[in-house]
Amino acid sequence: MDLSGKQIAILGAGRSGRAAAQLALSRGGSVTVYDGAKLEAFGTFPAEVELLPEATAASGRECRADLVVISPGIETAGEFASAFVDGAGELIGETEFASRVYRGRVVGITGTNGKTTTTELVQRVLIAGGITCEACGNYGRPLADVVLEEEQPAAVALELSSFQLETVNTFRPEVAVWLNFSPDHMDRYSSVAGYRAAKLRIFENQTADDLAVVRKGEDVGALKAPCIRFSATEEGGDYSLRGTSVMLDGAEVLDLAATRLRGVHNAENVMAALAAARALGVSCEVASGALSGYAPPLHRCELVGTLDGVEYINDSKATNLHALEAALISQRRPTVLIAGGKEKGLDYESLLPLLKKLVESVVVFGEIGSRLRPLFSRVVPTSSATTLEEAVHLARAAAHPGGTILFSPGTSSFDMFSGYEERGDVFRAAVQALK
């Protein structure tokens, strides 16, 4: 992709924006970065890049660019991004931009939950199979950053959020993984259908030469690519679960008991990763060996410690209802739940039967706490905390030896924290401070 003589506008000065700016420069483009933040928040850019801090919609209306590359954190349909459309030859996202340069094999991974774990699993298995692979995308490292490497990896395990998929155009993953779907990000989308439509774009450009890996029971519409189905709970898929054994067409290919992965949700993450890696030529035998030493990522049902016979589980990555439900179902001990955070417009009514069946008590906190307490109190004793540290103390008082305190918020963290990582770190520190 030659951008010589082209004007490139980058929207967003964060990690994706910086990587996109570097990539545009490397291809000969003249680059301007727009962000509503002040200049000191921009970070480091090459001297050749023009920086426009405190940008507004008026800045967008004045912009004339051959290509506008938008970062996933900026709402595509918002006033700021929309202002750039008329003066743009084309508006795309950083993932789409980088994919036009990358020439390796792409495993694209989307779903409401499990994306990060599955992305890590795919990377680990492909490397074990002799295929150089980088985990990137929503995982943390932008694809544009990977593309800038002198020696690009042979494959990428690309975690894809709905925000990134909104702005694809020609992007075509050789393997597209759909893990699951449940309502989320209702603070950004006007309807569940809009959120779902964004995620479904992962299949948009696939052909009969590609592969779709889809959880059995998920309606993803008509597919152009052949499809492999998996499920830990439903019969009839290509991959299934029998006890702790992951089965492919009725034959065991991996024993979860030989790994550090636990729970139905992780069994399905493993199935999806096995199917994706097998499509790229890595055998289940190699994959099984690669996963034997794998430890789940931090903040995803992470055992922080045990105190007075009570296990403390950090599942701060649970930023929606589906993740919270999966965490609850995977518990095998009497559970005290800590939940709450940002108000995202989600409907928690559907959670009540599960709380009544599986939870002894709940502690709520954060922006949504005042709405959750009367709702959850209908089926289980529920108390409120003003801080996460206070929530830990209240949960400890309610728990009994042999039980679990599960920190699985069920919504995002941005009312009180910079992200789920900081939120999980605060929970861990609060637990470690207990005497």
Catalytic residues: 115, 138, 185
Q: Are 213 and 270 in contact (CB under 8 A)?
A: no
Report the C-alpha gap between 391 and 338 in whole angstroms: 7
User: If 0-12 CB within 10 Å is exposed, 13-18 middle and 19+ buried, where does residue 203 land?
Assistant: buried
